[in-house]
Amino acid sequence: MLRVAEAVERTDTGRQRDANEDSYFARAPVFAVADGMGGARAGEVASRIAVDAFEPERDSSLQPERYLEQTAHAANLAIFERAKGDETRSGMGTTLTSAVLDGDSLSIGHVGDSRAYLFRDGELTQLTRDHSLVEEWRRQGRLTAEQAEAHPQRSIITRALGPEPEVEVDTFTLTARDGDLFLLCSDGLTTMVPDGDLGSLLGSGGTLDQLSRRLIDAANERGGRDNITVVLFRLASSDREAAPASEDATLVGVAAEREGFSAEAVRAGAREPAGVGVPTTTRRAAAPAASDDDGPGARRWISRTIVGLLIAAALVAAAYFGLRQVYFIGTDEGNRIALFRGLPYDLPLGIDLYSERSSAPIMLDDVPEDRRSVVVDHELRSYDDAVSLIEDLEKTTREAQDAAEAAAQSQSPTAPGSGGPSSAGGSGSGSSGGGEAPAGSDGGGAGG
């Protein structure tokens, strides 16, 4: 069972804005970041409504993803109704990226271009996909990742809370681990600081308060063109601090990694011949010192033991680093398409040679039948190849769903042009509400 061991929130107006339209919510196990938009400080109002939607006590009977989705829908309707009754706030909206820890799982809800990241084992992974015009072009292959990072229309988003009475919310769940560090942030950080630098800053050590200050300072030093908000929280095992600090204590979590052992290393060791791998439960114990009475035989035995341990450590290290370089695609417990690192094998005693890195908001059953084989064959791939394949599967699935929906509408007696009622006001009609308002191509839940 995991808990939030440390959390910090920080927001800054930036160097080029007069007001801060970002808002955040941080009350473990729930966290959220919202980046508002609209004239006459309407963005500040919209983002505040979004995070205030998390104030009521969470209904524990709701599944985490459902909770995040319902909260976002409630906030969306509240913002929409508020704007409808006040002309000065017409078209206002906000992004919303939220997270809730439930047991050993972290669920994410996402609308807009604020982001959620995972920093694990020294690696930074972007968990959310921007609902922006530039990101859509990148997915379509019209822009490279490098071109998208510097594109002048990067701030045009295609989905937000508020402009329409309905909105589509991306939700997904990932398996969390002891020591995981999560970052929720507004685009005032990510437009100034590229992912490579974010990873270096998060890996620079120190408390979360120090890390949050470094992130905001980095964004301001590079121009600070927008408001900057960061929410950082680190997870730990619920019983980690309760473990006895004795010389014979079992090593777990970060303590084990400091001693050269980790879950991946143990799993890799389980694949070696008996006597070579590392035992599943490793205990520290002082080795008996050799006395003058032990004789040369005892000293030779100790020397051979040391050599054997060094060889075993080298084999474990090689296996450990090898497993970190390979990825494959499969499905998570919810039958969503997921990215895994390691080898697709389960060993006896419940030992897995892989770990889940992230999951996509598409179900295996929704993927066209002729593409499902690439999900279930568990072919080993590089990280970039696996991520690219998941993006392609998302695109193919979305296109198939759009085609099926269009075909169904063309046969419906109530389709536009057939004399029946039109679908105006639904989630497919976008609204541009200003320079930073959602683009009409995907506004209000058209799907990103």
Single-letter amino acid code for the residue at 289: A
CATH topology of domain 2-237: Phosphatase 2c; domain 1 (3.60.40)
Q: Is the pLDDT of residue 251 over 60?
A: no
Structure tokens at 15: 């160097």
Tell me: the pLDDT tens digits for 65-96?
999 999 999 999 999 999 888 877 888 999 99
Q: In the predicted model, what is the mean pLDDT of residues 414-430?
A: 40
For residues 40 and 285, what is the distance between their CA atoms, to the nearest angstrom? Answer: 67
For residues 81 and 166, what is the distance between their CA atoms, to the nearest angstrom? Answer: 12
* Share of residues in the chain with pLDDT > 90 (%): 42
Tell me: the pLDDT tens digits for 196-244?
999 999 999 999 999 999 999 999 999 999 999 999 999 999 876 533 3
Are the beta carbons of 25 and 72 closer than 8 angstroms? no
Are the beta carbons of 444 and 112 closer than 8 angstroms? no
Q: Is the pLDDT of residue 365 over 70?
A: yes
Are the beta carbons of 35 and 95 closer than 8 angstroms? yes
Three-state secondary structure call for residue 421: coil
What pLDDT score was predicted for residue 155?
Answer: 64
For residues 213 and 16, what is the distance between their CA atoms, to the nearest angstrom? Answer: 18
Tell me: the pLDDT tens digits for 253-309?
333 333 443 444 434 444 443 333 333 333 233 333 444 445 555 566 676 677 777
The dihedral sign for the CA sequence 129, 179, 379, 148: positive
Are the beta carbons of 161 and 79 closer than 8 angstroms? yes
Q: In the predicted model, what is the mean pLDDT of residues 399-424?
A: 64
For residues 386 and 228, what is the distance between their CA atoms, to the nearest angstrom? Answer: 31
Q: What is the dihedral of CA 349, 352, 356, 362, to 10 degrees?
A: -80
The verdict on pTM exceeding 0.75 is no
Residues of the chain with CATH 3.60.40.10: 2-237
Structure tokens at 239: 């019983």
45 phi and psi angles, rounded to 5 deg: -65, -45
